[in-house]
Structure 1
Amino acid sequence: MTALGFLYPGHSAEDDYPRIEQLLGSDIRLQVVHTDIGEDAHRVDALLEMGSAARLAAGIEDLRLSGAEAVVWACTSGSFVYGWEGAHDQVRTLATTAGLPASSTSFAFAHAVRELGVKRVAIAATYPDDVAVLFGNFLRDAGLDVLGVRSSGIITAAEVGTWGEAEVLALARAGDHPEAEVVLLPDTALHTASHIPALEKELGKPVLTANQVTVWEALRLTDRRVNAPELGTLFTREPIVQA
């Protein structure tokens, strides 16, 4: 049994995690602990507070008691808003506080794109323009080629959490770029766990979504690989064999 821990801000699309656990179909348990988000707003000042060390630390003891072997801050905007170096500081502090390997959804996206062996990405974001641009900058700092950033101007995670498959597919189509090798949907408040095969079929390329890559990142931290086609191309990759 591998137990994976996730600090999830508030309540929006946390039901993606039991769905993903079911699709993994293995001896893997996903433990979600909710953090206090303060103000529900995709606004820089609110996001900085949401991702503060004090708010994250408050959920650590529950994860320890669950037996989690790694922890991921399951929030994209509440990590990349700190910038490349600041986001590194955030996960280092989280790892030290938890005494566990740690990461965040922002780094999960960067690592997942590398896992696919590509560099050219398009971003289809629910966020307002200024926040979406910060995610593009974060990925550029990760060495990726960001070909387009589509924003939807949504302020609250609560609104994002009401979106269904039709809205998710429309967002992905609008954010795609003809030269992009992969499309990224960076919001853990967005329900996507049930839609990934449809997204990849619609766009004809890999699609990475926030809760999907967050779980993949936790598996990576614990050196686990699981083949789960219903979770998209990312979960069907063969391990890279070093020569």
Structure 2
Amino acid sequence: MNFDQFDAFEIKLQFEPAPRPERVHIGLVQLANDHTLETDWSHLLREQAALFSTRIFKENGMTPEALDAVAASISDGAVLVGDGLPMDVMAFACTSASIVIGEDKVAKLMTQGRGDIPATNPWTAAQVAFKHLGAKRVAVLSPYPTDVNFPLRQQLIDAGFDVVALAAFGILDDNIIHKVPLQSFEEGIEILLKDNDVDVIFMSCTSLRAVEKIQYLEDKFGVPIVSSNSALFWHAMHLCGKTAVCPGYGKLLSGTVI
């Protein structure tokens, strides 16, 4: 059978394009050495959102220089997300890089060529989440070394929050952050709450495996807990006019109006 014969043999079908599924489309750019976010978000997405993601390179090492260098790859990564498919919101998944590079610059890099759509990152999202929860006094549980924690604290203060305590594991190796266990979370939170009046605890870094532990930790310590990954998902939905409904993952994601 030659091509002309095959062309006559082939049955030509017609179809009407189906509408886009009725769920929020989130475009995500994450770091190549993030070992946690996809697992965390697998518990949250359900039928309320669809995720389209790509990864970009980051040199191993939690240093301001390595974090700042990520900026050179953000726009190239963002343009690869869901090529040909409109996104409702773009999300950049690195808290510390957002602090070092700057929230406004990250947003611009994430949305180049995508029209007028919103963008978020864990650092921006966390601050909006704190305000949503009515939290003024923030305690931070951080995996970062001191030279990353220093601007984190200062930027929270500049945003109008009281940083009542900050405890850090001082991890330099990106590939270790996801290995911090629940017991260490508990020990750190106990230290943060001792003799401090705390409205919210922020577990910073998308690589911390915290989302599955949030409800347990809130029930144990009696204080709202926001992680980078819970804040990022909540804010991405919020920017699309939706309420993230993820019962069992803490007060922020409970779906209740505060």
Shorter chain as normaliser: what TM range? 0.7 to 0.9
1:213-228 aligned within 5 A: 213-228=231-246
Q: Which residue of 2 aligns with 1:103?
A: 120
Tell me whether 203-212 or 172-181 shows the greater mean CA deviation. Answer: 172-181
Q: Which residue of 2 aligns with 1:92?
A: 108
1:10-159 aligned within 5 A: 10-14=32-36, 16-37=37-58, 39-50=59-70, 52=71, 54-65=72-83, 67-82=86-101, 86-99=102-115, 100-159=117-176
Q: In angstroms, what is the RMSD of aligned CA positions?
A: 2.0
With over 3 angstroms needed to count, the CA separation of the structure-2 counterparts of 1:176 and 1:58, relative to structure 1, is: farther
| TM-score of the two chains, using structure 2 as the length reference | 0.83
Displacement of 1:152 after TM fit? 1.3
- In structure 1, what is the Cα distance between the partners aligned to 2:177 and 2:184? 10
1:206 to 212, 218, 224: 224
Q: Report which of the two has the higher share of helix.
A: 1
With over 3 angstroms needed to count, the CA separation of the structure-2 counterparts of 1:3 and 1:149, relative to structure 1, is: same
Q: Aligned AA for 2:150? A: V
- In structure 2, what is the Cα distance between the partners aligned to 1:165 and 1:67? 38
What residue ranges of structure 1 are gaps of 5+ in the alignment?
none
Q: Which residue of 2 aligns with 1:189?
A: 207
- Select the structure of larger CA radius of gyration: 2
Q: Which residue of 2 aligns with 1:160?
A: 177
Displacement of 1:18 after TM fit? 4.6
- In structure 1, what is the Cα distance between the partners aligned to 2:49 and 2:130? 23
What residue ranges of structure 2 are gaps of 5+ in the alignment?
1-22
Q: List 4+ stretches of structure 1 deviating above 6 A.
A: none
Which secondary structure state, in structure 1, belongs to the residue aligned with residue 248 of structure 2?
helix
- In structure 1, what is the Cα distance between the partners aligned to 2:60 and 2:30? 13
- In structure 2, what is the Cα distance between the partners aligned to 1:237 and 1:122? 23
Q: Aligned AA for 1:194? A: E
Which secondary structure state, in structure 2, belongs to the residue aligned with residue 124 of structure 1?
strand
What is the aligned residue count?
Answer: 233
- In structure 1, what is the Cα distance between the partners aligned to 2:50 and 2:42? 7
Q: Which residue of 2 aligns with 1:235?
A: 253
With over 3 angstroms needed to count, the CA separation of the structure-2 counterparts of 1:145 and 1:97, relative to structure 1, is: farther
Tell me, yes or no, if the aligned pair for 2:68 and 2:100 is still in contact at 8 Å: yes
Q: Aligned AA for 2:111? A: A
- In structure 2, what is the Cα distance between the partners aligned to 1:128 and 1:158? 14
Tell me, yes or no, if the aligned pair for 1:17 and 1:211 is still in contact at 8 Å: no
| TM-score of the two chains, using structure 1 as the length reference | 0.87
Displacement of 1:97 after TM fit? 4.2
